[in-house]
Amino acid sequence: MTQTIASLTVDSLISNGIKNIYCVPGVQNDHFFNALFDRQNHIKAIQTRHEQGAVYMALGAALATGKPQAFSIVPGPGFLNGCAALCTAYALNAPLFGVVGQIPNSAIGAGLGLLHEIENQLDILKSLCKHAERIIDPAVAHAQLNTAWNELRHGRTRPVGIEIPVDQWLKETQYTPADLEFKGTDPGPPDSQAIKAAAKLITLAKKPLIAVGSGALSNSAAVCELATTIGAGVVAFRTGHGVMDGRNPLSINMPVGHRLWPDCDLIIGLGTRLITQKKDWGIDDNIKILHIDIDQDSLTKVVPATLGIHADLKHALPELLAELQSGLSLQPDRQSWQQTIAQTKSAVAKEIHTELAPQIKWLDAIRSALPENGIFVDELTQIGYVSRFAFDAYQPRTFLSTGYQGTLGYGIATALGAAHARPDVPVVSIAGDGGAMFTITELATAVHHNIPLNVVVMNDNAFGNVRGIQRDQYNQRYIASDLSSPDFVKLAESMGVAATRALNPQELNSQLTDAIDNPGPNLIEVPVQEFPSPWKYILLPKVR
């Protein structure tokens, strides 16, 4: 059928399962939104107050569901506004599909000073995405969209982007609905000999550990079965939380993994780059590396794996388990290792609860108020840093983090996207007063779209982490770390958000419990003082 590129783009989104597009409209994308108007029964536009909010919402929705999400922003300043969120999505392997506007094709690179013109926008987009293209030829437009979907869904998932100049939207193109749905090929099973070799490596190990990242989130049951079968502790840092229930005796945080690292003789990396273990904790001749990942490049970073298997975990783990089960009697007795794991876990927990008691009390108040399937969204704040090793996630995709990007201010808008995509479960976003102000305007979006987000703002009138470092490492030479923050309760109420203030962990637990029962967006402000530094449990030194 004959349609415009604008209609083609909308139909491509619909055909590939997109139900919502998080967006800020604007003149270069008006034709796209006009085409979207006719398809509102299939895809809804969720307008935000800022472009970073749009991309962060798409990110939160993708992290909470594991499914592709889409955003649309205008070129130039609009695009640049969304770049912090886009680079965070790249770091988190999030499946985002971006529709980015552009000035007329003939004017690109001409330096005419047109509205929203910037140099080399497509190059910037490519640097933040797994794949990006500009659509300027109606004859191949649908093929370009299909290539983008193929790149998004094939191998390691990461954002993709399509840039469309304003003068291309209404050009006519030919396609059928069947042309638009992604029909990628499954990578298939891993090499059987590699699986046998992996089973042999495991059988020879006496003190194995498993490290998991975001690539293991969709394979939680198989990871847990592997850990139980071989008696290995499962280490998660930021993006692997919830792969194993945090209450499981074999679930261990990074400080525990670090304590066990000198004795570990086999590390099994599943859906993670293993950078922390290889680069920061250290590798020597007494440890073997079994690494299984869908991204082949990850298998050789820093130090090549003893055995690297390029495969999707959904294929590799069942085959590995079957091979291990067939030779289960050959597995060494690892009861002593499991006892060591339990003792180390207990000792580290006691230490952390003593040294970081103020943060732990607030986190415990949140954890006890949040149901098992509730989603916790961390931030670059003192409570957030501690949550990465002291907040138990019980299920996959219930602990959302910035990963290695460490994007201050991402939390509220990202959590809003998670809450929009998963209205069936409570979502709690924590933020410091510094980070909160980056995207707190999106509370107006929460009200407008009736999104049931719960925000907890820990207010110390400072960039607390910066101030803590200046306190501990620079002899209290405080500079540029103090803030004048608003009354967050009044600010939230002015936007139609239900808001309260909690003065202690008991009040926070009670108020958050009530907020979760309230269908609308809610905010709780928590005035706090300085916290003890958590960094000795995060920046862990080389030990081998």
For the chain, helix, strand, coil in percent to 5 are: 45, 15, 35
- Across 466-536, the runs of DSSP E, i.e. the strands, are 498-501, 522-527
Q: For helices 83-91 and 121-128, give the axis angle rounded to 10 degrees.
A: 30
Cβ atoms of residues 316 and 333 within 8 Å: no
361 phi/psi in degrees, rounded to 5: -65, -40
pLDDT reported for residue 246: 97
Cβ atoms of residues 544 and 284 within 8 Å: yes
pLDDT reported for residue 177: 80
All domains of the chain in start order, with CATH: 2-169 (3.40.50.970), 192-343 (3.40.50.1220), 356-537 (3.40.50.970)
- 222: which 2 tokens? 């198989």
- Long-range contacts formed by 144-153: CB under 8 A, 24+ apart: 145/8, 145/9, 145/12, 145/180, 146/12, 146/179, 146/180, 146/182, 148/97, 149/12, 149/16, 149/97, 149/182, 149/184, 150/182, 150/184, 152/68, 152/95, 152/96, 152/97, 153/68, 153/95, 153/182, 153/184
Neighbours of 249 (CB within 10 A): 11
- Between CA 180 and CA 488 the distance in angstroms is 46
pLDDT reported for residue 66: 97
- Between CA 91 and CA 500 the distance in angstroms is 34
Q: Fill in the amino acid letter for 526.
A: V
pLDDT reported for residue 180: 86
3 phi/psi in degrees, rounded to 5: -145, 175
pLDDT reported for residue 157: 95
pLDDT reported for residue 221: 98
pLDDT reported for residue 422: 98
User: Would strands 69-73 and 20-23 be described as parallel, antiparallel, or unpaired?
Assistant: parallel
All residue ranges of the chain with pLDDT < 70 are 184-185, 329
pLDDT reported for residue 521: 97
pLDDT reported for residue 420: 98
pLDDT reported for residue 1: 75
